[in-house]
């Protein structure tokens, strides 16, 4: 199989595209009409250098987020199941050659305890993370998903389990679809093949093409909800943006549905890791790439992780992010042990934001956002092509805003601390007042009363 990443075309576009302000205005208008941009149009955005035109891009990204996703921010938590790995990725503390890494695979009992601890804090959505190792096969992952869904703690329950794991074959993906996984996430890390080969010298992950087509096999197995990502800092950030867009276009053209999410983590310090800082992305360029990705693929959710510190997270969220993790620990058993400090030999990289879920919830509410744990679309089959049909014209707000309000109300009733509860109620009032449909507003208020009376998991 050949790569669908046209490196020569990407490099040529980045070298030769010289946009005018008028061209940029037309490109932004196309995006605001909820049309995916081409490689040529996105290259034009990437090559903007003057401050005035760059500000147009930032404002366009903010407007687009508000039009499609409103002010809601979906929250989740990562849960590392095992860090055994046969790969030797140069940027990763879990690489097989790092003999100082403390290896651990959660037992069934340990997994249940981790989930109960997450539920006790109000988490409803998880992404389970696995190393690439024979022990983490499809059957093992499927059992972990079953355990996550089956484990309850008072009103606490996990309603959506996403997966970040190695590429699989079609029959293996079918096993995971059968246990009700949400998004299957595979990050290409870098779309530049020579750079990829440099950072992945051995193990199954060293096969660039196999990884590149990993989500094709997921689609063929019926998993129409997939997530892509690049690790920014391995190669030129502009190239990676066009690589992500090329991947989105490939999925859209072949399967009639683009990626459900795009992630854009930056390289962070990790135990026994030292790589070149040639392509490290500074904060200014990081904000640019987020805004441009938002405009390039307007219908796709964008995930901002706790790799970033609180300050940059505050600045970047408004540029188009729709999902963040919060209250995150990435050490094995990190949620039950509640460590005071991060332990680098037990985690893949260093987190920039270790605040509690409640602290982040309060900040979001006070910042004008509506935090959400919504899972209604996934459980009602509004995924894949059907989701895109709703998301592209903006109709998804008819579901997302009401469901965000209801899940926030649950959190305030069951988990919120003093201060967060008051901020949350104010955020709910603001979201209700902004709803255009009086009929829908009344129905949401009635369901909130039912939640107050003890009912849970009400959604549109």
pLDDT recorded at residue 386: 60
Q: Distance of CA 7 to CAs 83, 150, 239, 240, 404, Å?
A: 33, 45, 8, 10, 40
Instruction: Say what angle helices 21-32 and 283-296 make with each other, to 10 degrees.
Output: 60
| Rg for the chain, CA atoms, rounded | 21
Which contiguous run of DSSP H or E holds residue 126? strand 125-130
Domain boundaries, the chain: 7-66, 71-355, 390-452
Q: Distance of CA 196 to CAs 187, 241, 247, Å?
A: 12, 15, 16
pLDDT recorded at residue 68: 84
pLDDT recorded at residue 406: 98
The CATH label, of 3.40.50.410, 3.40.50.40, 3.20.20.70, 3.40.50.170, for the domain at 71-355 is 3.20.20.70
SS3 265: coil
Q: Distance of CA 365 to CAs 52, 61, 190, 247, 430, Å?
A: 31, 21, 35, 34, 10
pLDDT recorded at residue 381: 72
The pTM assigned to this predicted structure is: 0.95
pLDDT recorded at residue 389: 66
The residues that bridge with 424 in the sheet, in sequence order, are: none
pLDDT recorded at residue 243: 98
pLDDT recorded at residue 377: 73
Give the dihedral sign, CA 320/196/245/228: negative
SS3 188: strand
pLDDT recorded at residue 396: 63
pLDDT recorded at residue 212: 98
DSSP 219-278: HHTT---EEEEE-BTSS-HHHHHHHHHHHHHHHHHHHS---SEEE-PBP---TT-----T
The pLDDT averaged over each successive group of 10 residues in the chain (460 residues) is 97 98 98 96 98 98 90 97 98 97 97 98 98 98 98 98 98 97 97 98 98 98 96 98 98 95 97 96 98 96 97 97 97 92 94 97 98 84 65 66 96 97 98 93 98 95
pLDDT recorded at residue 394: 54
pLDDT recorded at residue 390: 64
Hey, what's the torsion of the CAs at 273, 279, 285, 289, to 10 degrees? Answer: -90
Which contiguous run of DSSP H or E holds residue 162? strand 160-164
DSSP 90-111: TT-TT-TT-TTS---B--HHHH
Among 129, 127, 133, CA closest to 95: 133
> Please, how many CA atoms are within 13 Å of residue 115, restricted to the half-sphere of its CB?
30
Distance CA 424, CA 362 (A): 7
């Amino acid at each position: 199989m050949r790569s669908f990443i046209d490196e020569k075309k990407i490099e040529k576009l980045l070298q030769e595209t010289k946009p005018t302000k008028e061209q940029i205005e037309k490109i932004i208008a196309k995006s605001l009409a909820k049309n995916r941009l081409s490689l040529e149009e996105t290259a034009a955005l990437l090559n903007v250098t003057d401050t005035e035109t760059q500000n147009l891009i930032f404002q366009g990204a903010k407007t687009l987020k508000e039009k499609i996703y409103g002010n809601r921010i979906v929250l989740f938590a990562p849960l590392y199941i095992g860090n055994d790995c046969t790969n030797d990725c140069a940027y990763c503390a879990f690489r097989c050659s790092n003999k100082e890494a403390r290896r651990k695979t959660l037992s069934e009992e340990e997994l249940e305890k981790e989930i109960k601890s997450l539920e006790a804090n109000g988490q409803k959505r998880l992404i389970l993370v696995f190393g690439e190792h024979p022990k983490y096969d499809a059957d093992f992952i499927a059992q972990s998903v079953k355990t996550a869904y089956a484990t309850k703690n008072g009103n606490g329950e996990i309603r959506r389990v996403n997966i970040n794991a190695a590429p699989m074959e079609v029959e293996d993906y079918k096993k995971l679809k059968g246990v009700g996984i949400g998004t299957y996430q595979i990050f290409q890390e870098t779309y530049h093949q020579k750079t990829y080969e440099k950072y992945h010298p051995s193990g199954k992950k060293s096969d660039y093409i196999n990884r590149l087509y990993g989500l094709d096999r997921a689609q063929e197995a019926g998993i129409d909800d997939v997530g892509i990502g690049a690790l920014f800092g391995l190669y030129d950030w502009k190239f990676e943006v066009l690589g992500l867009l090329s991947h989105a276009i490939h999925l859209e053209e072949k399967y009639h549905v683009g990626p459900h999410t795009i992630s854009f983590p930056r390289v962070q310090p990790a135990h026994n890791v030292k790589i070149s800082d040639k392509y490290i992305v500074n904060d200014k360029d990081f904000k640019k790439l987020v805004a441009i990705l938002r405009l390039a693929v307007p219908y796709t959710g964008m995930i901002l992780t706790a790799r970033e510190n609180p300050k940059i997270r505050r600045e970047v969220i408004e540029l188009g992010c729709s999902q963040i993790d919060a209250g995150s620990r990435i050490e094995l058993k990190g949620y039950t042990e509640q460590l005071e400090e991060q332990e680098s030999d037990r985690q893949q990289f260093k987190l920039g934001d270790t605040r509690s879920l409640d602290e982040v919830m309060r900040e979001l509410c006070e910042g004008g956002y509506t935090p959400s744990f919504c899972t209604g679309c996934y459980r009602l089959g509004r995924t894949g092509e059907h989701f895109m049909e709703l998301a592209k014209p903006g109709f998804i707000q008819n579901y997302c805003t009401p469901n965000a309000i209801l899940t926030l109300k649950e959190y305030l009733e069951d988990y919120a601390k003093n201060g967060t509860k008051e901020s949350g109620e104010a955020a709910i009032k603001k979201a209700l007042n902004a709803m255009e449909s009086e009929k829908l507003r009344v129905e949401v208020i009635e369901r909130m009363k039912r939640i107050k009376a003890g009912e849970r998991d009400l959604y549109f």
